[in-house]
Structure 1
Amino acid sequence: MRHTASLYTRLIAAQFRSITEYPADFWTMVSVALIQQAAQIAFIAVVFAQVTTLDGWGFPQMLLLIGFMVLADSVTEVGWDGMWRLGRMIVNGELDYAVIRPAPAMMQIGASAIGMQSAANMTTGLTMIVIGWSGAGVPLAMVPAAVLLFACAVVVQLTVITAMNCANFWLKGPSPVFAWLTSQTQETATRFPLTIYPRAVRTVLTWVVPLAFVNYIPVRILTGDLPAWWLAVPPAVALALVAIAVLIAKAGLARYESAGH
């Protein structure tokens, strides 16, 4: 474990040096991401200037909801963005290099890229959470719970994206179709309270593809909308998803047949 953690750290550091080698590209992406997130906040502010609540959720709660999603996604982009390259690596045989090295293949793939926009998204997500936290009146005593919930949110985000990208072991193409659809669903659906959707949609997003545990469930726990015992549910879901993602990845690697897979 120590060797794997050390190798992972070195790989991420190498990727960071790579993306900062061209400062103009890096800062352009950061600026674009900041403008995009600022526009998103402004849109929400304009909406809530006209509508005070959305199914009981006010502006501060909405900032918490979106802030958790943006921050968890940006952390995943920093530490695991290479997973989006898996489909292409399977088709053209690049995965061979990861398989034969003395280190976990999925760790190597995940650490093989960093999203250039992640620094801006981290800043924006954290700002949303701080403003939303204050506006929603969440007590400071909930900070340890928030840290736990956020750690679980990152694990959920990471494992769901990993499992969906691993679908390419069974597909005949480089495009991460399932992962992309999952990401788009999260971007459009979970930025709003799940209570506005039909029961079937809520069930799927909570227990089938549990994206609700990235932001919706944590925010409801922090704001007191769910009883205290719910604090034990996100860690259990995160552990279950880790086990599922590992099984899917192992099954996929077992059927990998090099270039032309």
Structure 2
Amino acid sequence: MAANAHRTLHAAGVYRRSIGAYLRSIAEYPADFWVMALSGTFWQIMLFAFLSILFDNVKAIAGWDYHQMLLLAGFLAVSWGSTALFWDGIWDTGKLIIEGDMDYRITRPAPVLIQVASKHVGMQVFGEVTLGLVMMAVGWIGAGISAAAIPLALFLLVCAAVIQASLLTIANAANFWMKGRTPIIAFMLAELQNEAMRFPLTIFPAAVRIVFTFGLPLAFASFIPVQILTGKLDPWWLAAPPAAAAATALLAVLAYRAGLRAYDSAGH
């Protein structure tokens, strides 16, 4: 028990120092920071405008009104954006494998997954998350959700962020076998989020809904949490997001460990 606690604290310390060092480096180049942050803001403004124009012409999409759709889009922006803030380095897995830098990570006395994931922060996330929170706030107020539900929303956001980071880790771990610099599977996952998960899952056929709920559990990172907040689901569904988060996190750790075991050193 004590040994496990020590390893956990050590991993947390490695993560904190690595992220802290990168944030300090960002402060040295403020122009780069603002360019990236504004680029993230731009895409969320476009989505905000798209939804506003869309709902000028329709009253609802599959039973979801304008404010509920804003809440869904904002929730997804914050949960997905959190991976760029806390776990963005995982995108470099393929690059580290091809260039041989993974050898250095393996020889260091710290969890490899933590070292890789905390390599850097996606600066565009500051704009994305800010506008995502704005959309959530507007949607929240418009949907008439009580302020008493804010702690529940925060809990669901944490679960969603863990699911997003875990799925992203699994997708990038595929590069241990694909032997490519570009994280193709991870890009496909990101594209799937952008194209499909910003809309109610109920607009898709039953087979697609089943896949996104129980196969690739993206529904637990946006659609289901927002349904819980808006009262569209029974209270017992509240147990589903943390269960999905725990399951995907375990799978992510196992997938990355399997990848490390399959890894061939650049020196071989």
TM-score of Structure 1 vs Structure 2, range by shorter chain: over 0.9
Q: Percent identity?
A: 47
The answer on 1:254 being equivalent to 2:253 is no
Within 2, Cα distance between the matches of 1:160 and 1:23?
A: 31
Letter in 2 for 1:104: P
**Greater CA drift, 30-39 or 224-233:** 30-39
Q: Is the 8 A contact 1:92 1:260 kept in 2?
A: no
Per-residue CA deviation, residues 20-50 of structure 1 (Å, 9 max, x unaligned), is 3211111111122222211210111011011
SS of equivalent residue, structure 2 residue 55: helix
Within 2, Cα distance between the matches of 1:171 and 1:197?
A: 31
Within 2, Cα distance between the matches of 1:61 and 1:52?
A: 12
Letter in 2 for 1:194: L
Q: Is the 8 A contact 1:91 1:258 kept in 2?
A: no
The answer on 1:63 being equivalent to 2:70 is yes
Q: Which runs of 4+ in 1 moved over 6 A?
A: none
Within 1, Cα distance between the matches of 2:262 and 2:179?
A: 13
Q: Is the 8 A contact 1:76 1:157 kept in 2?
A: yes
**Greater CA drift, 55-64 or 32-41:** 32-41
SS of equivalent residue, structure 1 residue 36: helix
**How many residue pairs align between the two structures?**
261
TM-score normalised by structure 2 residue count: 0.95
Q: CA RMSD in A?
A: 1.2
The answer on 1:109 being equivalent to 2:116 is yes
Within 2, Cα distance between the matches of 1:249 and 1:127?
A: 35
Give the Å deviation of 1:163: 0.4
User: Which of 144, 152, 157 pairs up with 1:145?
Assistant: 152
Within 1, Cα distance between the matches of 2:149 and 2:9?
A: 31
Q: Is the 8 A contact 2:71 2:226 kept in 1?
A: yes
Within 2, Cα distance between the matches of 1:225 and 1:99?
A: 46
Give the Å deviation of 1:260: 7.6
User: Which of 213, 226, 235 pairs up with 1:228?
Assistant: 235
Q: Is the 8 A contact 1:80 1:111 kept in 2?
A: yes
Give the Å deviation of 1:141: 2.2
Letter in 2 for 1:74: G
Within 2, Cα distance between the matches of 1:86 and 1:172?
A: 10
Q: Is the 8 A contact 2:70 2:139 kept in 1?
A: yes
Within 1, Cα distance between the matches of 2:40 and 2:138?
A: 19
Per the alignment, residue 140 of structure 2 pairs with 133
Within 2, Cα distance between the matches of 1:234 and 1:249?
A: 22
The answer on 1:218 being equivalent to 2:262 is no
Structure 2: runs of 5+ lacking an equivalent: 1-7
Within 2, Cα distance between the matches of 1:126 and 1:9?
A: 24
Letter in 2 for 1:166: A
Per the alignment, residue 194 of structure 1 pairs with 201
Give the Å deviation of 1:210: 0.7
The answer on 1:183 being equivalent to 2:190 is yes
